[in-house]
Structure 1
């Protein structure tokens, strides 16, 4: 740390600790500095060596990445009702008392809470997801942010009244030096070899599809989304930084995320943004309707045209667009929606895509919009509550955080959440992968099964399955 920055840091820390001791009340101290280029994956590797829980976010459409180490503050609400409102209230209370030194105000600097929610808080949690509560957010102790070609380090520390200034300062400086180790990250030492791949009850899953189609023929339910699980076992424990690097390198136009709790890490590369807020500007996107990529440009274009013109996919897409529009109108002004979707292409898949833009009303927050959007018809079905009830009672899988909102929010009134798709729960030398599809009245179980195989491909390939 340069001398000028060192003086600023020590002065800010000392002032913060004096206020804590004067008030005899704990307070979050947050300090952000601009630094030279630093390797994010090496940062995550060092955080793992220090046994810090790790978090990661890489944006789909801009030069923006965050790597987090540790939990300076944790926000978690076990109640199934009003969980979004309670997280928002806890977040606002944390910021109100925080001492923030951040002259940059860039996204992902200052106080940043990273985390997510479970798909359905009413679904009993199984052993698979025992480390992940209904919702959990953490303010990392150290955040390395890469945005617009620049690098920033934010240090967050909950200061307690009886702590000694010199002890805290030395602790923060020691960890800072260790985490910003400038050594080059070596990602060629962690190639995974898959010892076994097991599909969890695929035939029962197909039978559940038949049950869902029969229910839809006799009720007002139009669509039910059903997901399934594939379990892998590796020859050694999976290396989280390596998986994230491979996802970033291979899954362009996707949000790459990771959230570590205990010895488990939930990570993935999802194409689907739920909502982005920057000040009063709000953006949500509908990504519903799926087809594979072609092997040639001509085949690719033919498949894209068929997807665009297919009545089933267009109807499924429009369900989601109208739901997003109505949610935005409840919390925002100036809502704008294109007349028809475009086709967005990713490495192995292509989707119908519609952006929805708006202005956030002053009395609302990003968590307000999340509460209205989740789950979209693309993840739950329509009508929402009836489809959720069917999933809760009949789906074999405990989705945990799969298909749910995951993202971040900061003290600059910026934030972004994605839908946790194309994801895996890494548990040392094992992993559970998840994929689902929308079931309608005329769905064919075998065709839906094949669609989930396509959706599983990106994560399977990164984890060593051809």
Structure 2
């Protein structure tokens, strides 16, 4: 669809968001981070990604305008508008590629660490952020080696996404015939960038402590072309920076990686920074 089609115009006029609250308010979220750090200090976990859901009263959202503003604010991300009658409308803009595949050539990325993009453009990463991103890169390398997949790791770079910047390491390679697309996807996802390490222990901690259902947040989405034999293509992205519009409410999902070096107050600020762009498009 084009964004000018009738599909996008069946919405009510603009309305300022109001009645904002969170699935975990600040004090409770800081307590959860402290609990995670204790688990990490006791060597139960190496890293865990914690998140929260922000509820915003949004009775009269004009979806077409929201989507246009997302496109403008995230020019270098996968920006999407998706609707299903049973689950509502989802919009998002994610910079994190899970897997791109063209014929047998694939690429993925290790993305972690977050800073607000400063006007002067100077970016200095702390040791905590560098270590966190290296965990993700090491995990991807381990998965690829385990599946005997040839690859090369490119130079680590900064990746801009809206008003934020992340640390990114691109990985490219060739998928052997004996490894299917979905086998590789299932091995990769969820990465430490959205779950943690060890993976299953982190998932168990999240399920027991986050106190809400992530739904499609931190899942993956994208396009798969399986019919064109001459050129099979796939582009899958991790569902970050996303919101759900349903029942006159906007639900915004934000999170961050927790390690032994995390500062709870700073982690809260990071989730606030991640939410600001999405709130602004409402």
Instruction: Tell me which of 188, 196, 212 is aligned to 1:381.
Output: 196
Aligned residues: 276
Match of 1:261 in 2: 84
- 1:248-283 CA-to-partner distances (Å, cap 9, x unmatched) read 122111111233221501221111111111111101
Task: Determine if contact 2:58/2:248 at 8 Å carries over to the other structure.
Answer: yes
Spell out structure 1 runs of 4+ moving beyond 4 A.
none
The match for 1:206 is 30
Q: C-alpha separation between the residues in 2 aligned to 1:342 and 1:439?
A: 22
Query: Does residue 1:394 correspond to 2:209, yes or no?
Result: yes
After superposition, the Cα gap between the structure-2 partners of 1:330 and 1:279, relative to the gap in structure 1 and judged at 3 Å, is: farther
| 1:187-218 deviation per Cα after TM superposition (whole angstroms, max 9, x unaligned) | 9x843321321122312221111111111111
Of 103, 113, 134, the match for 1:289: 113
- How do residues 191-340 of structure 1 correspond to structure 2 at under 5 angstroms? 191-202=14-25, 203-236=27-60, 238-262=61-85, 264-295=88-119, 297=120, 300-301=121-122, 304=123, 306-307=124-125, 310-331=126-147, 333-338=149-154, 340=155
Match in the other structure for 1:437:
256
CA contact (8 A) 1:332 1:359 kept: no
Structure 1 residue 394, shift from structure 2 partner: 1.0
Which ranges in structure 1 are unaligned for 5 or more consecutive residues?
A: 1-38, 50-186
Report what 1:31 is aligned to: none
Matched, 1:46 2:7: yes
Alignment RMSD, CA only? Answer: 2.0
Preserved CA contact (<8 Å) 2:144 2:150? no
In structure 2, stretches of 5+ residues that fail to align are none
Return the offset for 1:319: 0.8
Q: Deviation at 1:351?
A: 0.9
What secondary structure is seen at the aligned counterpart in 1 of 2:118? coil
State the SS of the aligned residue for 1:375: coil
Q: Residue 71 of structure 2 contacts residue 79 of structure 2 at CA under 8 Å; is this kept in 1? A: yes
Deviation by residue 1:288-343 (Cα, 9 ceiling, x = unmatched):
11111112x2xx21xx1x11xx22111111111111122233456330002x4111
Instruction: Give me the whole-angstrom Cα distance separating, in 1, the residues matched to 2:15 and 2:175.
Output: 45
Bigger relative contact order, structure 1 or 2 (CA pairs below 8 A, ≥6 apart): 2
Matched residue, 2:182: 367
What SS does the corresponding residue of 2:3 show, helix, strand or coil?
helix
TM-score (norm 1): 0.56
Residues in 1 aligned to 2:35 and 2:43: alpha-carbon distance in whole angstroms: 12
Query: Residue 432 of structure 1 aligns to a residue in which SS?
Result: strand
Residues 450-461 of structure 1 mapped to structure 2, 5 A cutoff = 450-461=269-280
Residue in 1 aligned with 2:236? 417
Matched-pair contact (CA < 8 Å) for 1:332–1:358: no
DSSP 3-state at the match of 1:40: coil
Q: Provide TM-score, normalisation by structure 2.
A: 0.91
CA 1:218–1:333 in structure 2 vs 1: closer, same or farther (change >3 Å)? closer
Following superposition, the deviation at residue 438 of structure 1 comes to 0.8
Maintained 8 Å contact 1:235/1:429: yes
Q: Is contact 1:332-1:360 (8 Å) kept? A: no
SS in 2 for 1:451: helix
Report the 3-state secondary structure (helix = DSSP H, G, I; strand = E; otherwise coil) of the residue aligned with 1:41. Answer: coil
* Structure label with greater radius of gyration: 1
Give the match's secondary structure for 2:254.
Answer: strand
